[in-house]
Amino acid sequence: MAAGESQAMGKVLQALTLRPTDNGWTGEMPGDLWGLVVFGGFVIAHAVLAATRDAPAGRRMHSLHAYFLKPVMGGKSIAYRVRTLREGRAFTSRLVEGSQEGQLVLSMMCSFTADTDGYEYQPSRVPLAPGPDDVLTETFGPWLCAVVGPSARDENGHYVSTHRMWFRTASPLPKDDHLACVFTAFATDMTWKGARPLHLDGDTRGIVSLDHAVWFHRPMRPDDWCYYDVTSVINAAGRGLVRGQMFSRDGLLCASVAQETLVTPYKDGSSP
């Protein structure tokens, strides 16, 4: 692992340290990994961490739905208020509210349950694509990403997939199922340019996450190669919707994602 990757991983793990308060948790947002505004995936991960610090015994998070209310600023503290909305025999529902400097920046509902035996049905498989060893690897914070890119256009000029990549953490994670869920949630926001299929050769300017939903079907180890397949469902009225599927390396569908974004056009050659 290169020194830069090790340093980024260390900063993320350090930031994933929360201190208890009277009604939740508080922690620090890293100020030198993504610039002034913290990457939305890390904000989701931080909130999942707050929700799982005292997770119900024998239950794991199986779904979340979060709204990004204001940009989360790096180098500043964030406080989480965690409330249990319902403690049922099979499911526990919680509301997590994140605030910076007294202003609400994130609202997330999530649910916990225990896995049980039942039907096993999965029609989706990892689409045919180059493997992680056949694609140039790049770094993004604590992640190693082997970006495959979009699929070829079909006869109508549309894409089956607007973003495809393999990813894993730059170093192994502790054997903690809740921490694995934290990093899986982190990765679900790495939809990147896939939200704007008519400008895939551009960058991520003008793409801002509005709300974010994840269903964790199976536990996943994000420190092993995983595959993320993203599809743009629509761009309309200044917004976009993407769907994503996350697979383990052996082809198990582990998480499904839906994300709405603000999609603002920009001209190539303009300043970021």
Give pLDDT tens digits for 111-122.
999 999 999 999
Task: Classify residue 122: in a domain, yes or no.
Answer: no
What CATH number has the domain bearing residue 25?
2.40.160.210
Residues 6+ apart with CB under 8 A from 6: 170, 171
The pLDDT assigned to 266 comes to: 82
Question: What's the average model confidence in pLDDT over 37-49?
Answer: 96
What is the spatial distance between Cα 271 and Cα 256, in angstroms, rounded to a whole number? 34
pLDDT in tens, 82-116: 999 999 999 999 999 999 999 999 999 999 999 99
Residue 269 binned pLDDT confidence (cut-offs 50, 70, 90): low
pLDDT in tens, 140-191: 999 999 999 998 888 888 899 999 999 999 999 999 999 999 999 999 999 9
Task: Classify residue 61: in a domain, yes or no.
Answer: yes
Q: How many CB atoms lie within 10 A of CB 258?
A: 16
The CA distances from residue 94 to 48, 51, 72, 84, 126, in Å, are 11, 7, 21, 4, 32
Q: How many domains are there within the chain?
A: 1
Range of the domain at 18: 3-113+130-263
> Of 31-35, 71-75, 157-161, 190-194, which gets the smallest average pLDDT?
31-35
Task: Classify residue 118: in a domain, yes or no.
Answer: no
